[in-house]
Amino acid sequence: MEKVRGFEIAKGFEDRNINLPVRKTKCSAAYDIEAAEDTIVPSFKKGMKATLVSTGLKAYMQEDEVLYLFAKSSGFGKKGIMLSNAVGVIDGDYYGNEDNDGHIMFSIINLKDEDLHIKKGDAIGQAMFTKYLKADDDNATEIRKGGFGSTSK
């Protein structure tokens, strides 16, 4: 079977019982993503960096596709968390990169007064594959060499 799009376990997480994402209903647009390990997300204070929460996953897709990462709809109301970047963008060439094998992480901030304890297997967000369009004058030819945050380096 030809691989078109999907999820795999990232290097270093093969023996950690990572669950591949699933859609919960036949009309769900996104796949639920779980934390790969216990993580404490401290209560946010001015000047703090977001907490990167590991998923143990990487995603492959077609050249004209992207994987968007979103917060769960219940995330803020129930847990006080939101994504620091509003929407995460996983480009197709992030898969298998030499820095981190394309390991997907959620960049989370906690707006509650107390620290949040995320447990391995807790749903931390959702991911949606979609096509994207290119402008007429697009001529990008660079190939990604790095992992998280490497596009502009």
Q: Look at residue 40 and tell me if it is in a domain.
A: yes
Q: Look at residue 65 and tell me if it is in a domain.
A: yes
CATH of residue 117's domain is 2.70.40.10
Q: Look at residue 59 and tell me if it is in a domain.
A: yes
Q: Look at residue 149 and tell me if it is in a domain.
A: no
* 88-145 pLDDT, tens digit each: 999 999 999 999 999 999 999 999 999 999 999 999 999 999 999 999 999 988 877 7
Q: Given a cut of 90, is residue 49 above it in pLDDT?
A: yes
Burial class (CB in 10 A: 0-12, 13-18, 19+), 18: buried
Domain count, the chain: 1
Three-state DSSP class for residue 33: strand
Q: What is the pTM of this model?
A: 0.90
- Domain extent, residue 26, equals 6-131
Q: Look at residue 146 and tell me if it is in a domain.
A: no
Give residue 146's pLDDT.
Answer: 66
Q: Look at residue 141 and tell me if it is in a domain.
A: no
Q: Look at residue 1 and tell me if it is in a domain.
A: no
- CA–CA separation, 151 and 143 (whole Å): 9
- CA–CA separation, 102 and 33 (whole Å): 15
